[in-house]
């Protein structure tokens, strides 16, 4: 079925990637910039442009000044602000419809039947895969305006709750060949699909084990930089904490997707999120930002935080507990 | 950095790297181990890590045993060596269960504490520096390979579970049957030119072919011995018929061709039985519960009809009941008639052994339980046939209850007695009707009046009503008149003589 899905995706991209009139002008302007924005040239004059994802936020020192350099002024990309920190590895495709895309690690293959967009970059062509925010919590968080996902090219990611590997494939696209994604999934049926994804992508290490017992797969995983958890279990904070104690480096980050219904279906969502945040702080995990996933999911939130943050600050240990 | 479980001793640190082996490391500075929280600092850089731990030796081992917390042979060997050297040392383990096993088998005391976890973290982060002679690329590749093989082992991806085999096998079975039938008919016809009586005597196809193959020309029947193919009395008949047969003579070549055809038939028959056995085995392996419920052939046909076992599992029980009767179903739905009650399920043994009246009910019950077993087979993890046996028992019990004419109610608790009507003696005494005695036409007046009346029923009713009303009024008036007369007579009596004539 993967091959058939791929063919569908390719056809869809050709049919749907068409920019009309206006964006072309901007595209030319952007093409002159030193950002690596690429021009598309399809037969029939359908043009689509892909540029790195950017949004309003703190300058994180990656060489981006955030000024209004293309002279158009104002909110030209609709995401608010004229500059901001980019999420490396994540792109936005502008065309008739805008889409969040990642660069395909395995060109020509579609993992779950998603649209693929081919863009000419000089004489080479680069392929991008569309990322559906309704199916992926990470995409929903990015489109919701999360500040930092910490998953970047070259990072080592531990992905708990990998399911059939749809979001895992996008994470694998982002981290590239230098990074590794350790995908942990307990269900056998989803595990089979995950294995198929891992066969095609060599930076995905599949682990068919219960995430509650990290010591059972300790021999397969080294230290990681980021933990992404989408497990939907009532004790998920404990699971993430256990895995963090085993595998997450000091100063590493974690992203937890919380489904309020799953933790406690009677309590209001905000109370559930607050409870989870409290549990996290008790386990030496400091939450830094929380974002709800409206309009893509209901009563869902993503919490981003840092593990053993005192390493970053240069301290020798955690601050003394206040009496 | 791909590290297996690490067993750490207070002085000795034992590493297990997944594909590479065990690496016992010696902890040089014991004091640092006391402070759990600051341990991470010791492993910040490879150099610092080296200060704290020192590589001793390494071995190769398998990791599946590790996952289950069991002791593999190599691990035992290494640990024995350690025990021999430093028996009083304590071994720290990352897996508490493994620690227990080690202690029990090798008498080596193990500890498992937060300090151990911290140590493990440190080692894990600096594994590259600590282990010399292993490039990270190779470690990465080995780890990936191990992860894949471990996952496959977990998923137990076996080729037994592929249901395409079933679909192909059952289709081939049907094809073979058709072909076999064609060939046998041809054989009978062809040989029938030469020896027609044989066709009538031997009804079994395979027997016929074997016989023809053995004997060939009918003149050989008297001399040949066909007792291993035919029973006694048939043999006699055949031999007798061979003498007086009215068929034509055929040449050697023709007989050879017929014998070739018989060879083919026999071969195909044998292959068919083999294929049927293969199908039975496959069905038991892939869908044991379904096989127990409805049998191999019906189960295989259901799977083939639906396309795959997973597709079949998605159908509701009502569809499972009617799979195979789609033409009848939609025809009945279009013309608003009664829909069929069973499809392929009709050929299941449970439906076959019930009465005609109960076939519909049993087919419905069987379809309901069969749908459950199909889902269990398609999506469940186990491969036992217990669930199918239980369900079959339930359906058989229901069948028995139905056959006993529902003395007890089936629904509800099943213990209440079915309600029957109270017996009332309706004695019908037949009386002799004499009107049939005479054959003369009887014309009675009553009938005529009745006829007339019946014709003017409405008018008559109205007239009756009117008459009744009038009668009523007349009666009322007479009464009044009578009362008035009495009153006046009374008055007359009082007024004596004068008004007497007045009234009268």
Most confident option among A212-216, B8-12, B75-79: A212-216
Residues A321, A302: Cα–Cα separation, whole Å: 27
In this complex, is the C-beta atom of A207 within 8 Å of any C-beta atom belonging to chain B?
yes
The residue that leads in pLDDT, B277 or B19, is B277
Query: Chain A: residue nearest B381 by CA?
Result: A188
Contact B155 A208 (CB under 8 A): yes
In this complex, is the C-beta atom of B37 within 8 Å of any C-beta atom belonging to chain A?
yes
Pick the closest to residue B22 from B88, B96, B98 (CA basis): B98
Q: Give the residue-averaged pLDDT of B195-222.
A: 89
In this complex, is the C-beta atom of A221 within 8 Å of any C-beta atom belonging to chain B?
yes
The residues near A160 (Cβ < 8 Å, ≥ 6 apart) are A184, A211, A227, A228, A229, A230, A231, A239, A240, A243
Q: Which of A202, A219, A247 sits opposite B5 (nearest CB)?
A: A219
Give one DSSP letter per residue of A219-257, joined into a string: TT---EEEEEE----TTHHHHHHHHHHHHEEEEEEEEEE
The residue that leads in pLDDT, B394 or A71, is B394
Q: Which of B3, B41, B155 sits opposite A222 (nearest CB)?
A: B3
Contact B381 A192 (CB under 8 A): no
A108-131 pLDDT tens trace: 989 999 999 998 888 889 999 999
The predicted pLDDT at position B68 comes to 57
Most confident option among B16-20, B284-288, B300-304, B382-386: B300-304
- Binding-face residues of B in 364-423 toward A, CB within 8 A: 379, 381
Pick the closest to residue A286 from A294, A295, A278 (CA basis): A278
In this complex, is the C-beta atom of A43 within 8 Å of any C-beta atom belonging to chain B?
no
**Is the ipTM, as predicted for this complex, more than 0.90?**
no
Phi then psi for residue B139, to 5 deg, are -60, -40
B263-313 pLDDT tens trace: 999 999 999 999 999 999 999 989 999 999 999 999 999 999 999 898 999
Lateral strand order in the sheet of B7-9:
B53-55, B21-27, B12-17, B7-9, B91-93, B110-111
Task: Work out the angle at residue A183's Cα, subtended by the Cα atoms of residues A182 and A187, and round it to the nearest 5 degrees.
Answer: 150
CB of A162 closer than 8 Å to CB of A184: yes
pLDDT at residue B180 above 90?
yes
Contact A245 B117 (CB under 8 A): yes
Q: Give the residue-averaged pLDDT of B57-74.
A: 50
Q: Give the residue-averaged pLDDT of A30-58.
A: 52
Chain A residues touching B5 at Cβ < 8 A: 215, 218-219
In this complex, is the C-beta atom of B16 within 8 Å of any C-beta atom belonging to chain A?
yes
pLDDT band at B1 (very low <50, low <70, confident <90, very high): very low
Chain B residues touching A220 at Cβ < 8 A: 2, 18, 143, 146-147, 150
Contact B124 A208 (CB under 8 A): no
Chain A residues touching B40 at Cβ < 8 A: 250, 308, 311
Contact B152 A219 (CB under 8 A): no
- Binding-face residues of A in 278-297 toward B, CB within 8 A: none
CB of A146 closer than 8 Å to CB of A292: no
Q: Give the residue-averaged pLDDT of B313-318.
A: 95
Q: Give the residue-averaged pLDDT of A298-315.
A: 84
Residues B447, B433: Cα–Cα separation, whole Å: 19
A189-200 pLDDT tens trace: 888 899 999 999
pLDDT at residue B449 above 60?
no
SS (H, E, C) B113-132: CHHHHHHHHHHHHCHHHHCC
Q: Which of A188, A216, A308 sits opposite B155 (nearest CB)?
A: A188
Chain A residues touching B66 at Cβ < 8 A: 219
pLDDT at residue B475 above 80?
yes
Lateral strand order in the sheet of A224-229:
A204-207, A180-184, A156-160, A224-229, A248-259, A300-307, A285-292
A138-180 pLDDT tens trace: 999 999 999 988 999 999 999 999 999 999 999 999 999 999 9
Residues B388, A322: Cα–Cα separation, whole Å: 63
Contact B144 A215 (CB under 8 A): no
Contact B120 A246 (CB under 8 A): yes
Contact B157 A198 (CB under 8 A): no
Q: CA of B332, closest CA in chain A: separation in Å?
A: 37
In this complex, is the C-beta atom of A215 within 8 Å of any C-beta atom belonging to chain B?
yes
Q: Which of B2, B40, B148 sits opposite A206 (nearest CB)?
A: B148
Pick the closest to residue B366 from B396, B411, B409, B323 (CA basis): B396
pLDDT band at B153 (very low <50, low <70, confident <90, very high): confident
Chain B residues touching A221 at Cβ < 8 A: 2
Q: Where are the beta strands (DSSP E) in chain A?
A: 49-55, 85-94, 99-103, 116-121, 124-130, 156-160, 180-184, 204-207, 224-229, 248-259, 285-292, 300-307
Radius of gyration of chain A (CA): 20
In this complex, is the C-beta atom of B150 within 8 Å of any C-beta atom belonging to chain A?
yes
In this complex, is the C-beta atom of A198 within 8 Å of any C-beta atom belonging to chain B?
yes
- Binding-face residues of A in 234-273 toward B, CB within 8 A: 245-247, 249-250
Residues B318, B336: Cα–Cα separation, whole Å: 18
The residues near B345 (Cβ < 8 Å, ≥ 6 apart) are B294, B298, B302, B320, B321, B323, B324, B351, B363, B366, B367, B370
pLDDT at residue A232 above 70?
yes
Distance between alpha carbon B194 and the CA centroid of its chain, in Å? Answer: 51
Chain B residues touching A195 at Cβ < 8 A: 148, 151-152, 155
Segment among A214-218, A263-267, B458-462 with least mean pLDDT: B458-462
Q: CA of B344, closest CA in chain A: separation in Å?
A: 30
In this complex, is the C-beta atom of B5 within 8 Å of any C-beta atom belonging to chain A?
yes
Chain A residues touching B61 at Cβ < 8 A: none
Chain B residues touching A199 at Cβ < 8 A: 148
Contact B2 A217 (CB under 8 A): no
């Amino acid at each position: 079925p993967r091959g058939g899905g791929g063919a569908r995706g390719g056809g869809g991209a050709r049919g749907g990637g068409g920019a009309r009139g206006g964006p072309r002008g901007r595209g030319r302007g952007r093409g002159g910039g030193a950002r690596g924005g690429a021009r598309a040239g399809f037969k029939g004059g359908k043009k689509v442009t892909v540029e790195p994802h950017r949004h309003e936020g703190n300058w994180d020192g990656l060489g981006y000044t955030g000024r209004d350099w293309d002279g158009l002024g104002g909110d030209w990309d609709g995401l608010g602000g004229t500059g901001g920190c980019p999420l490396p590895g994540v792109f936005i495709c502008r065309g008739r419809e805008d889409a969040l895309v990642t660069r395909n690690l395995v060109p020509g293959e579609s993992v779950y039947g998603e649209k693929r967009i081919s863009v000419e970059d000089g004489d080479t062509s680069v392929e991008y895969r569309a990322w559906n925010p309704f199916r992926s919590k990470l995409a929903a968080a990015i489109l919701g305006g999360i500040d930092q996902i910490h998953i970047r090219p070259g990072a080592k990611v531990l992905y708990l709750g990998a399911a059939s590997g749809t979001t895992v494939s996008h994470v694998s696209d982002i981290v590239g060949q230098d990074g590794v994604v350790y995908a942990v999934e307990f269900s056998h049926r989803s595990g089979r699909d995950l294995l198929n994804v891992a066969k095609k992508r060599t930076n995905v290490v599949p682990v068919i084990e219960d995430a509650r017992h990290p010591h059972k797969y300790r021999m397969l995983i080294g230290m990681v930089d980021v933990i992404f958890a989408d497990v939907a279990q009532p004790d998920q904070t404990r699971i993430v904490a256990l895995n963090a104690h085993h595998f997450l480096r000091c100063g590493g980050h974690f992203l937890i997707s919380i489904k309020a219904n799953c933790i406690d279906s009677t309590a209001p969502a905000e109370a559930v999120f607050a409870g989870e945040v409290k549990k996290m702080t008790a386990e030496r995990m400091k939450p830094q930002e929380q974002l709800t996933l409206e309009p893509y999911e209901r009563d869902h939130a993503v919490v981003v935080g840092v593990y053993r943050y005192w390493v970053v600050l240069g301290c020798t240990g955690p601050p003394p507990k206040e009496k | 950095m791909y590290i297996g479980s690490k067993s750490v001793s207070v002085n000795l640190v034992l590493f297990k790297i997944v594909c590479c082996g065990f690496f016992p490391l010696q902890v040089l500075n014991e004091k640092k181990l006391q402070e759990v929280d600051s341990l991470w600092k010791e492993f910040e850089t490879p150099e610092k890590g080296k200060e704290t731990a020192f590589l001793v030796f390494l071995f190769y081992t398998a990791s599946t045993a590790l996952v289950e917390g069991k002791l593999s042979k190599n691990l035992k060997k290494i640990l024995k060596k350690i025990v021999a050297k430093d028996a009083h040392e304590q071994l720290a383990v990352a897996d508490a269960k493994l620690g227990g096993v080690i202690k029990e088998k090798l008498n080596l005391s193990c500890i498992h504490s937060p300090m151990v976890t911290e140590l493990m973290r440190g080692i894990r982060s600096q594994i590259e520096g600590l282990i010399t002679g292993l490039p990270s690329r190779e470690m990465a590749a080995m780890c990936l390979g191990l992860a894949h093989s471990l996952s496959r082992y977990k998923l137990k991806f076996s080729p037994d579970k592929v249901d395409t085999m079933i679909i192909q096998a059952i289709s081939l079975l049907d094809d073979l049957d058709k072909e076999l039938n064609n060939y046998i008919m041809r054989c009978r016809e062809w040989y029938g030119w030469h020896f027609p009586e044989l066709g009538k005597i031997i009804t079994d196809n395979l027997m016929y072919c074997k016989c023809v193959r053995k004997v060939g020309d009918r003149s050989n029947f008297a001399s040949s011995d066909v007792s291993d193919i035919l029973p006694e009395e048939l043999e006699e008949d055949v031999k007798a018929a061979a003498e007086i047969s009215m068929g034509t003579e055929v040449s050697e070549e023709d007989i050879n061709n017929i014998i070739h055809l018989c060879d083919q038939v026999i071969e195909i028959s044998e292959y068919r039985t083999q294929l049927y056995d293969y199908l039975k085995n496959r069905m038991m392996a892939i869908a044991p519960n379904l096989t127990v419920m409805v049998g191999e052939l019906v189960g295989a046909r259901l799977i083939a009809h639906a396309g795959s076992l997973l597709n079949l599992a998605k159908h509701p029980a009502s569809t499972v009941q009617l799979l195979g009767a789609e033409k009848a179903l939609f025809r009945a739905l279009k013309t608003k008639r009664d829909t069929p009650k069973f499809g392929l399920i009709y050929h299941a043994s449970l439906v076959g052994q019930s009465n005609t009246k109960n076939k519909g009910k049993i087919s419905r019950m069987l379809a309901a339980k069969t749908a459950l077993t199909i889902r269990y087979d398609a999506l469940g993890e186990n491969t036992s046939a217990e669930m199918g046996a239980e369900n079959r028992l339930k359906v058989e019990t229901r069948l028995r209850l139905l056959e006993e004419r529902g003395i007890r109610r089936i629904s509800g608790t099943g213990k209440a007695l079915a309600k029957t009507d109270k017996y009332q003696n309706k004695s019908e005494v037949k009386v002799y009707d004499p009107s049939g005695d005479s054959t003369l036409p009887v014309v009675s007046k009553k009938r005529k009046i009745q006829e007339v009346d019946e014709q003017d029923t409405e008018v008559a009713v109205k007239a009756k009503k009117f008459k009744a009303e009038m009668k009523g009024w007349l009666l009322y008036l007479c009464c009044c008149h009578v009362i008035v007369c009495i009153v006046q007579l009374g008055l007359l009596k009082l007024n004596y003589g004068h008004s007497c004539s007045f009234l009268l």
